[in-house]
Structure 1
Amino acid sequence: MATKKMHFSSQVSDFDRRLLRVFKTVVESGGFTAAEVELNVTRSAISASMADLEKRMGFRLCHRGRTGFSLTDAGHQVHEHTLGLLGSLDSFRRQVNAIHSSLKGELSIGITDNLITMRRMRIVHSLQRLKQQAPEVTINIRMLPPNEIEKGVLNGQFHIGMVPRLRPAPGLDHFPMYEEESGLYCGEQHPLFGIPDSELTADRVLKHDAVAPAYAQPKDIQRIYQRHKIDATVSDREGVAFLLMTGCFIGILGKQG
């Protein structure tokens, strides 16, 4: 009986390399559970990454379940090849960096809208230092909703992205920047504007139309929106501000400072 052979595509993408790094960490940690801490993602996210890699490879890499974690014969071979590939990439990076006395190239960044006024938002100072230390680097910034930024980092469109921390995304490393406090706002022409806080009961506030972002929100913010009558949606926080200024809506925005 003939054996069907599956071939890996000729191009190894950034996404492939991220999956291989997850696989390497899982093997070195001895399983999915132990790798959660090292990768800072959930076990389900790790499982999804491993399933994607196995689908990409065309064969099973490991056994997981009640009997514990173990590599298949193919998994052992792929792990060895992964170490060689990632080691070669690191070596190439070091060798190329040694050629230049200064950084060159492009840095593509995806940023969630309306962070510029946050005093604790450190990206401005980071970009300033980067430009001072590496004046030949070209900086490209795009303002997009969080889910589009995550996709952009995963597919290699962006080198780095800045988004609210909603959930761990498989294949991404997360680093906290700052904590943001949110508040419920209305415009100066809104009926609630100027009413003392002591008189603002929940029933009184919930009677008014609200505007909500169309992109994903943290769970605590989702619970708040579920209580309101949503009569408008927007693609970004600037859209929230525009509708609040009409005096017809209330909505949640980050507090500045």
Structure 2
Amino acid sequence: MIRMTDVDLRLLRIFKTVADLKGLSAAESALNLNLSTISSHMTDLEKRLGLRLCERGRRGFHLTEEGHSVYQAAESLLNSVEEFRADIGAIRHEISGELAIGVVDSTITDVQAKITDAIRAVKQKGGDLFLKMEIKSPDEIEAAVLERKIHVGIGPFRIMHPGLTYLPLYTENLRLYCSHLHPLFKSAPNDINTEDLQKLDYVARGYMRESRELSDASNFKVAATVYHMEAAATLVLSGNFIGFLPEHYALQWVKQDLMRAIHPAFLSHSAEFSLVLLRGREQTMAVRVFVDALQSSLQPNRRMST
């Protein structure tokens, strides 16, 4: 029988990070360890467990069958440890443990997204709290919450998963843009024949297909697909594409006259942002403070109980 020690927990955390990042080299910066040290720790864990956890070499990295089983057990154990720390903190009326947040990219420029205020509220409560924040697509956020890899997510979610709780936050407005290098720029915003738009290269987001949400975009020629707003903005700024961007995000280029909206009166749509939690999971004090801080900034009719 294996007696768990702090060293074992550290080795399991290293193993989980390597598995999550799919390789030892990829885990170097995340762990702040060099390759040889990570390899040595992985070998130590394998000897400790008496199992071959992964194959690593010229053919790449992949978990063995035993490695997959150990990963699942390690994930459950480490989650339990974090929950225990959080529970002890709650008993002592302190915020402790870990708060893992997933959010879609480019929310930093939206004054409606009170994420920084919510983080400040949590940190001001003090305690031994480790904060982890990840930029993900909406689908990735939902999957991470369901798998207990993050506690809370923020983004536009089109389909409600039955295992998750969605709390409405705010509405983001998006417009169709072209850059100063695009042939339409001089005619924007309104002196443009909408039929001509169908012939132009259009950049679509893989997780929010605007062609399904906006009838006027149904005949756009999709010439690129991206999964982050920064990628969409880069393609639009190249002068070769038109694409939808959040109004708050595009404003920095609009002010410099590097972008213009195209027919903003009707070539626009909105995305409803929500906060997502795992249904039925008892939330830690850190999560509750974070959620309360976000909801306190909303209008009363948009607030909902967790």
TM-score, structure 2 length as denominator?
0.50
Equivalent AA in structure 2 for residue 119 of structure 1: V
Q: CA deviation at 1:136?
A: 2.3
Instruction: Please name the residue that 1:172 is paired with.
Output: 164
C-alpha change, 1:113 and 1:198, in structure 2 (3 Å) is closer
How many angstroms apart in 2 are the aligned matches of 1:217 and 1:169? 19
- Percent identical among aligned pairs is 33
Deviation readout 1:68-99 (Å, 9 max, x if unpaired): xxxxxxxxxxxxxxxxxxxxxxxx99974553
Deviation larger for 150-159 or 134-143: 134-143
Q: Give yes or no for the alignment of 1:108 onto 2:100.
A: yes
C-alpha change, 1:106 and 1:253, in structure 2 (3 Å) is same
C-alpha change, 1:204 and 1:94, in structure 2 (3 Å) is closer
Asked whether the equivalents of residues 243 and 249 of structure 1 are also in contact (C-alpha less than 8 Å), the reply is: yes
Instruction: Please name the residue that 2:91 is paired with.
Output: 99
Instruction: Please name the residue that 2:13 is paired with.
Output: none
Q: Give yes or no for the alignment of 1:132 onto 2:124.
A: yes
**SS in structure 2 of the partner of residue 114 of structure 1:** coil
Instruction: Please name the residue that 1:148 is paired with.
Output: 140
Q: Give yes or no for the alignment of 1:161 onto 2:160.
A: no
Q: Give yes or no for the alignment of 1:119 onto 2:111.
A: yes
Equivalent AA in structure 1 for residue 110 of structure 2: M
C-alpha change, 1:95 and 1:237, in structure 2 (3 Å) is closer
Query: Which consecutive aligned stretches of 4+ in structure 1 deviate over 3 angstroms post-superposition?
Result: 92-98, 216-225
What is the aligned counterpart of 1:204 among 196, 218, 222? 196
Asked whether the equivalents of residues 147 and 216 of structure 1 are also in contact (C-alpha less than 8 Å), the reply is: no
Asked whether the equivalents of residues 106 and 137 of structure 1 are also in contact (C-alpha less than 8 Å), the reply is: yes
Asked whether the equivalents of residues 86 and 98 of structure 2 are also in contact (C-alpha less than 8 Å), the reply is: no
Asked whether the equivalents of residues 108 and 160 of structure 1 are also in contact (C-alpha less than 8 Å), the reply is: yes
C-alpha change, 1:121 and 1:230, in structure 2 (3 Å) is same
Asked whether the equivalents of residues 186 and 193 of structure 1 are also in contact (C-alpha less than 8 Å), the reply is: yes
Q: CA deviation at 1:224?
A: 4.7
RMSD of equivalent CA atoms:
2.4
Structure 2 unmatched runs, 5+: 1-83, 252-306
C-alpha change, 1:219 and 1:225, in structure 2 (3 Å) is closer
Q: CA deviation at 1:137?
A: 1.2
**SS in structure 2 of the partner of residue 176 of structure 1:** strand
Structure 1 unmatched runs, 5+: 1-91
How many angstroms apart in 1 are the aligned matches of 2:162 and 2:208? 16
Deviation larger for 136-145 or 190-199: 190-199
Instruction: Please name the residue that 2:224 is paired with.
Output: 232
Equivalent AA in structure 1 for residue 131 of structure 2: I
**SS in structure 2 of the partner of residue 170 of structure 1:** coil
Q: CA deviation at 1:217?
A: 4.1
How many angstroms apart in 1 are the aligned matches of 2:131 and 2:236? 33
Asked whether the equivalents of residues 210 and 228 of structure 1 are also in contact (C-alpha less than 8 Å), the reply is: yes
Asked whether the equivalents of residues 204 and 226 of structure 2 are also in contact (C-alpha less than 8 Å), the reply is: yes
How many angstroms apart in 2 are the aligned matches of 1:95 and 1:141? 21
How many angstroms apart in 2 are the aligned matches of 1:93 and 1:175? 26
TM-score, structure 1 length as denominator?
0.59
Deviation readout 1:9-39 (Å, 9 max, x if unpaired): xxxxxxxxxxxxxxxxxxxxxxxxxxxxxxx
How many angstroms apart in 2 are the aligned matches of 1:179 and 1:123? 15
Asked whether the equivalents of residues 174 and 246 of structure 2 are also in contact (C-alpha less than 8 Å), the reply is: yes
Q: CA deviation at 1:175?
A: 0.8
Instruction: Please name the residue that 1:191 is paired with.
Output: 183
